[in-house]
Amino acid sequence: MKIKADIHIHTCLSPCADILISPKRIVEKAFNTDLNMIFITDHNSLNNAEAAIKAARYYPSLAVYPGMEITSREEVHILGLFGNMADALSTEEVITTYLPDAVSDSEYREQIIANEFDEVEGFCLKSLFNAVNIKTEDIIKLIHNNNGIAAAAHIDRPSFSIISQLGFIPDDIGFDALEISPNLDIEKAKEKYPEYLGKYKFLRGSDSHSLNWIGSVYTEFEGKNNTFGEFAQYLIS
Amino acid sequence: MKLKELTEKCGLETVNGFADENKEIAGAYSSDLLSDVIANAKKDFVWITLQTHLNIIAVAALKELAAIIIVNNKEIDKDTLQKAEEEKVTLLRTGLNTFQISGKIYECGIH
């Protein structure tokens, strides 16, 4: 069957996301828009990933996996996608040590930690929108060392993309895939970036910051059990 | 103005020597977005940036820049230094920030 996967969804933990985009509502919306697989990818943190995974237990057709959108030293956004919480947490542990504390009440109040019942558990006290002082290549290695998939986020965006920040994608940088923003489709991406064709798969992610974006775009691939392993297999196929 | 003269006047540190100290500087550009530098810097410009990633060397070579000036005394990665040797790109460094060094270079008559 065709698996519909959204590899890039923020929750109310991300300071730039809508307050209503809670883990529980994301799961409901993803189910209602016929997605089969989603990755929860807040900025530099996993605090709301497990709540979404727990909220999804009533929806067997939907697999929810943890991830992060990590900001490198060069301010490149990198999606780290994981098959389980343990691998994701090992990555987050390193990332967190590089993040400064939130500087004000108003800053951390934008970083809401919610549980699977749509209740506020607290706030993240780290400054999540900051860059992590690790170079792009080493963040990719960190993700790989923890069995994760590393994808360049929204490569066509004029800010925080590998191309905006570094001009082009270095040959041996190690990405497993490139994500394009909802502004492009795969065909247009192939026309726009012929130099990366054949070397990388292009993936679509919604980069949802608000509930109504969920389901607007997704990556489609052939699979049977919508597992992380199948997704990883698709990337190397 | 020649690159060597600018280096002396602005108190810049030479990181890897000069590829061509007599290079006549055509202008300067300050930016940390490499895509923006590719679009807007011109041949024989000096480029002021805090980025130290390997890709800065490729951008400088592509645009035939006179030199890259790294600000805030940022440490430069080994692979960036090595690539600079290969591509014969001059790396200069200053403890000043981008605003301050841009002002100094402007005062030297490069507009």
pTM of the model: 0.93
C-alpha angle B49-B52-B54 in degrees, rounded to nearest 5: 125
- From chain B, the residues in CB contact with A166 under 8 A are 34, 51, 53, 55
Distance from CA of A194 to the nearest CA of B (A): 17
| Partner residue opposite B33 with nearest CB, options A136, A164, A168 | A164
Confidence at residue B100, expressed as pLDDT on a 0 to 100 scale: 98
User: What is the structure's pLDDT at A217?
Assistant: 97
Smallest CA-to-CA distance from A82 within A145, A27, A1 is with A145
The answer to whether ipTM exceeds 0.95 is no
- Do B53 and A168 lie within an 8 Å CB cutoff? no
Q: Does B55 touch chain A (CB under 8 A)?
A: yes
Instruction: For chain A, give the percent of residues with pLDDT over 70.
Output: 100
pLDDT band at A198 (very low <50, low <70, confident <90, very high): confident
Per-residue pLDDT tens digits for A38-79 = 999 999 999 999 999 999 999 999 999 999 999 999 999 999
Q: Domain map of chain B by residue range?
A: 3-107
**Would you state the torsion angle of the CA atoms of residues A26, A213, A15, A67, taken in this order, to the nearest 10 degrees?**
60
CATH class of B3-107: alpha beta
Is residue A144 very low, low, confident or very high in pLDDT (cuts 50, 70, 90)? very high
How many residues can be counted in chain B?
111
Per-residue model confidence (pLDDT) at position A152 = 98
Amino acid A86: pLDDT: 98
Q: What would you report as the CA-atom Rg of chain B, rounded to the nearest whole angstrom? A: 12
Mean pLDDT of all residues belonging to chain B: 96
CB A32 within 8 A of CB A62: no
B53 interfaces chain A, CB cutoff of 8 Å = yes
Q: What is the pLDDT of residues B79-108, one digit of tens each?
A: 999 999 999 999 999 999 999 999 999 999
Q: Which residue ranges form the domains of chain A, and what is each CATH number?
A: 2-236 (3.20.20.140)
